[in-house]
A and B are shown apart, each in its own frame.
Chain A
């Protein structure tokens, strides 16, 4: 995914390491190239892109919701905490998950 991102544009194919249900929405965690973070995209709604969570090699990762339509949901406390935890777990197991994804 390269900024700027357009709504009609298809998402760049990245290795998807996890697909999880968070607060009733199915979310995919795709490994970003050369950065400690994931691209977050929905599988069950449009627009698919939610944003990204980066800085997973630090104790305080950063969640960026680039899609205005999904921002209220992403900044909701329960969803943000679940996103943070799942991203941390997935980042911890990224090597094994990447092997399994390929």
Chain B
């Protein structure tokens, strides 16, 4: 073992555990010296660098097949935007929020009437309600069954599932891909629009 130039017993290269033979030029104090505590040993499983594979990344400038990557920032990884912050700020516009509050305030009696229990009604009202129900039942029996198609949604402009006549304009291919990925991650209800 070549002698160390730094005579300090606490240095790892001075301990018996790390002692080894150095090739010429790689000894302690020589230009290509590699300290033992920085060399790979069995059991080391760390990795330097490493990032997910990106098929659209054409490598560094000058590499064969290189082309400029026009994506920037988080778009480069196809990441989704941050979720909306959890706070008390309204999710809709201010007039919309106020309209909803007004609706909730004025519809309170209706809501309470809806929640009211029928059995808790007083005597005459209960009798009248019972008579109404019997009358409705009799009318339904006399009329017979309703056609099945009557309960379906109306066709035409009131059908919410129709394809809009003014679909959104086609954007760039990258944005379309991004939106498709976003829709796949966040399912919306009733997504049966034919493309």
Contact = CB atoms under 8 A, between A and B. Distances in A.
Interface of A is mostly: helix
B65 interface: yes
Contact of B62 (A59, A81, A89): A89
B68 A92 contact: yes
Chain A, interface size category, equals under 10
Interface of B, helix, strand, loop or mixed by DSSP = loop
14 contacts: A59-B67, A81-B64, A81-B65, A85-B64, A85-B65, A85-B66, A88-B66, A88-B67, A88-B68, A89-B61, A89-B62, A89-B66, A92-B61, A92-B68
B56 to A, nearest CB: 9
How large, as a class, is the contact surface on chain B? under 10
Interface in B60-94: 61-62, 64-68
Nearest to A93: B61
Interface string B45-69: 0000000000000000110111110
Interface in A54-73: 59
Given A88-B66, A92-B61, 12 more contacts: A59-B67, A81-B64, A81-B65, A85-B64, A85-B65, A85-B66, A88-B67, A88-B68, A89-B61, A89-B62, A89-B66, A92-B68
Contacts of A88: 66-68
Interface in A86-100: 88-89, 92
Nearest to A85: B64
Contacts of A92: 61, 68
A11 to B, nearest CB: 28
B164 to A, nearest CB: 31
Contacts of B67: 59, 88
A15 B73 CA distance: 35
B135 to A, nearest CB: 74
Nearest to B58: A59
B23 to A, nearest CB: 40
A12 B61 CA distance: 32
B50 to A, nearest CB: 26
A89 B60 CA distance: 12
Nearest to B68: A92
A27 B152 CA distance: 72
Nearest to B65: A85
Nearest to B63: A85
Nearest to B56: A59
Contacts of B68: 88, 92
A54 B61 CA distance: 20
Nearest to B64: A85
A20 to B, nearest CB: 14
B70 to A, nearest CB: 9
Interface in A16-39: none
